[in-house]
Structure formats: C-alpha cells, structure tokens
Amino acid sequence: MPKYFNRSKLALVIIGIIAILVVVAGGGILVLKYYQKVSSIPNSQIADWKIYKNDEYGFEIKYPNDWMIDISGRGGMYDSGEISFCPPEMQNNSSFNSITGKNGGCIPGEEKGMVTGNIPELPIFLITCDPKSEDTYLNCDKPFAKQKVLSGNDLGTDSLGFVHKLILSNQNYESVYKAISSTFKFIPTTNSISRSSSGRLTYKNGVYGFKFDFPNSFRDGRKYENLLSLFGTLGLLTSQIVEKNYLDNLTPENSTDAKITTKTFLYEKKDVVIDSIQAVEVKSIICYWGFMVPAYGVCTYSHQVVIPVKNKLVAIAISYESRGTEKSPIWLNEQSEYVSNDENLQVIKNVDSSLNTIISTLKFTK
C-alpha cells in the first residue's frame, strides 16, 4: 500500500510539472509576441518598408509591409486630416475604398467588435491639426472625441502652421509607432499654400497649372486631394477640380418632402472671360427649412466661377451660410418669403467683392 501511494504521488508530481511547463511555454510565446510588438525595430528592416507619399500635403512616411494604410478619413468639410495604419488582424480587404479606388481599409473598432464581441483600438493614426483652431475636428488638443490617445508625437509644422502628429492608441504597437514616426519627412508639393512676408496667401495647383491669392482671413480648413477648403469671416472658400458635367448639375433647386423644403430664391448664370479664358459665373441663394432646421430656415449665398483646365474644370467659390432667428430673419420672414434687407445685401456685397478680388489674381501657369 505505501509503495502504491508513493507511485501515485510521483504521478501527480509529474503531471504537475508538465502542466507548469505548458503554462510557462504558453506564457513565453505570449511574452515573445508582445515583445515583438513593443521591442525596437532595426533600421535595416525599416529601410524595406512601404512608403506612403502625399503630394497634396507635402510629406512621406513609411509603414510595415504587411500593414495597411487607410486614407478614407481625408476629405469632406469636417475632416480631421486622418490617416490610419493597421496590422493584418485589423484589415478589411473586401470593402471598396472610394478614396483610393481599391478594395481594402482598416476596420473601425465598433464594426469589428460587433462581430467578435471585442472592440479593438486601431493602433496608429496620423492627423494634420491646427493648434489655433477651436474646432473639435481640427484642434491638436482634441484629435478624436471617441478615440483613445495614449501618446502623440509632433512630426513637424508646415508653412501654414498646421501640425502633423502621429497618435498611438494601442500600447502593443509602440515600437511600430516609434519606427513610423522616425520615417516622416516633408517633401516638395505640387499643390501648395505659401505666405509672403506681408501676410498674403497664395494657393498654387501644380497639377492643373493655376494659382491665385486670397485673404489671410481664410485659414481654418484643409487642403485635400484637388480641393482647397478654408473657413473665414466671409464664409467658406473652396477651389475644387470637377468633371465637365459639373455645370449641368448647377440648376435651381426646389423640392418639398414630409420634413424639409428647399427653395432657390436667386439663380444667375452667365459667361465671363477670366485671364483670356471663357468661363462661367454662377450666383445663387438657396434656403431650406423644416424638421431639425433652425427657426426661419437656413440660407446659403454662393458665388462661384467655373473655368476649364486640362480637360476638367476648376470651380472657385465663396459660400456664406446664414441661420435666421426670430430677432434676425436675415433671409426669410415668418411666411418663408425671401427678404431683401440691408443686412443680407451687405453679405452679398462682401462675398462678391472678396471673390472678385481673388479671381483678379488668378493666373494659369505651364
């Protein structure tokens, strides 16, 4: 009986040792995987990484060969200038990316969490921000309302004072974050904004060969792919490259459904000559009111000039949006009728004067 008891104890000890070895080995694998993510990455490996080059913003940056870069965050009026970097386990290779024109992108945490029950943090982002802006989307201190920010590395400041910053949201990828940061550099741009010593700003589009000056009051905004979009005291200044059918879609807009009514109160289109080139000038006042719209509606006065460039069109415009109130029905009265008063006439005059000044500086280059 004692001998049998000793054998039993010996078997238990052996089983215990095996179990401990399995746990230690498994832990070692996990530690190794974690170490691979947070340990430093040799320069020889970084040298072979893929390169993302952005001629519009004037920079380039490297990232691992098996990672994906998602630029679908760039574009739109309220864009944060965001670029996402994601490892293989956070990639979606089936969905179509309208910005790149190809399949593939980084899977948002909420989307993947709905499938797996676990919401991962996309690990690394690059943003372009403005330290002087009060806009949540643009301010450097408020890069993401919903995104966890563990650390941020300022990569540099461009000629307009915009800061390029890399954001880390998942500590397991700290080494990749540091390595990506080390590869960032500014490069000459085909499309650029420069500021003279007098404070005057000049936008140059090297791809389509034109440039123009604009007031420094237009600053708070972004430079996208073939789109300049800047906010100012006079409204929104835009310069965008559009297709030839753009003018066909510029028609008076009038519609009514169960919730929103849209009506055009002014629409003028005429041929003009800009720098010896035949162009089209369009002015419009479009208002809408109804569900979720402030009292007395919202109206936009838009003045734009559309000019042919290299088998496309460039549309340069200033748009001023006014939200009427009971005490200040700038555009509409309580019967939703257009009101022509000193206040909105002054708005129209200011927008027209500003755009005419900008267009007078427009030059086409070779």
CATH for 240: 3.40.1000.10
CA–CA dist 351, 362 (Å, integer):
17
- Per the CB < 8 A criterion, the answer to whether 96 and 103 are in contact is yes
Report d(CA 174, CA 41) in Å as an integer: 10
Burial pattern 79-110, b for ≥16 Cβ within 10 A else e, equals bbbbbbbbbeebbbeeeebeeeeeeebbbbbe
Domain that holds residue 241: 191-364
Same-domain pairing of 173 and 310: no
Q: Quick one: pLDDT at residue 82?
A: 75
Q: Which of 162, 168, 78, 85 is nearest to 128 (CA)?
A: 162
The full DSSP string for 202-246 is: EEEETTTTEEEEE-TT--EEEEETTEEEEEETTEEEEEEEE-GGG
**Global confidence as pTM:** 0.62
In this predicted structure, what is the pLDDT of residue 351?
94
**Is residue 19 assigned to a domain?**
no
Tell whether 336 is covered by a domain: yes
Using the 3D structure, point to which of 169, 186, 203 is the last residue of a domain.
186
pLDDT, greater one: 216 or 177: 177
Q: Token pair of 108, please? A: 């948002």
Query: Do 198 and 344 have their domain in common?
Result: yes
Residue 1: partners with Cβ closer than 8 Å, 6 or more residues away: none
Looking at the fold, whether 203 and 327 belong to one and the same domain comes out as yes
Mean pLDDT check: name the lowest of 17-26, 111-120, 173-182, 200-209.
Answer: 111-120
Please say which residue of 161, 186, 211 terminates a domain.
186
Task: Please give the pLDDT value at position 162.
Answer: 76
Residue 359 tokens read as 């267009």
pLDDT at 116: 42
Same domain, 175 and 270: no
Specify the pairing of strand 210-214 against strand 201-205: antiparallel
Work out the average pLDDT over 288-316.
Answer: 87
Which range has the worst mean pLDDT, 86-100, 179-193, 264-278?
86-100
pLDDT at 20: 58
Query: 305: closest CA among 271, 350, 346?
Result: 271
- Tell me if 6 is assigned to some domain: no
116-120, 215-219, 222-226, 359-363: which range is least confident on average?
A: 116-120
User: What distance, in Å, lies between the first and last C-alpha atoms of the chain?
Assistant: 102
Angle at 356 between CA 351 and CA 357, to 5 degrees: 100
253 pLDDT above the threshold of 60: yes
Structure tokens at 92: 């979606």
Same domain? 352 vs 210: yes
From 186, 214, 230, give the residue that closes a domain: 186
In the structure, what pLDDT confidence band is assigned to residue 207 with cuts at 50, 70 and 90? confident
Cα(6)–Cα(117) distance, integer angstroms: 48
- Span of 3-7, 31-35, 250-254 with lowest mean pLDDT: 31-35
What is the arithmetic mean of pLDDT over 354-362? 95
> Are 273 and 333 part of one and the same domain?
yes
Q: Which pLDDT score is estimated for 238?
A: 93
pLDDT band at 272 (very low <50, low <70, confident <90, very high): very high
> Does 10 reside within a domain?
no
Q: Quick check: 120 pLDDT over 70?
A: no
Of 234, 199, 206, residue with least CA distance to 220:
234
Same structural domain for residues 166 and 229? Answer: no
| Number of domains the chain is built from | 2
One domain, residues 121 and 198? no
Per-residue pLDDT, 31: 43
CB 364 within 8 A of CB 314: no
Q: What's the rounded mean pLDDT across residues 72-78? A: 47
Query: Which residue did the predictor score with more confidence, 150 or 17?
Result: 150
Flag whether pLDDT at 80 surpasses 70: no
Residue 3 falls inside a structural domain: no
Tell whether 211 and 338 lie within a shared domain.
yes
Provide the 10 A C-beta neighbour count for residue 60.
15
pLDDT above 70: residue 297:
yes
Q: Quick one: pLDDT band at residue 99, thresholds 50, 70, 90?
A: very low
Residue 12 in any domain: the answer is: no
Q: Would 16 be classed as within a structural domain?
A: no
Q: Mean of the pLDDT values across residues 132-160?
A: 67
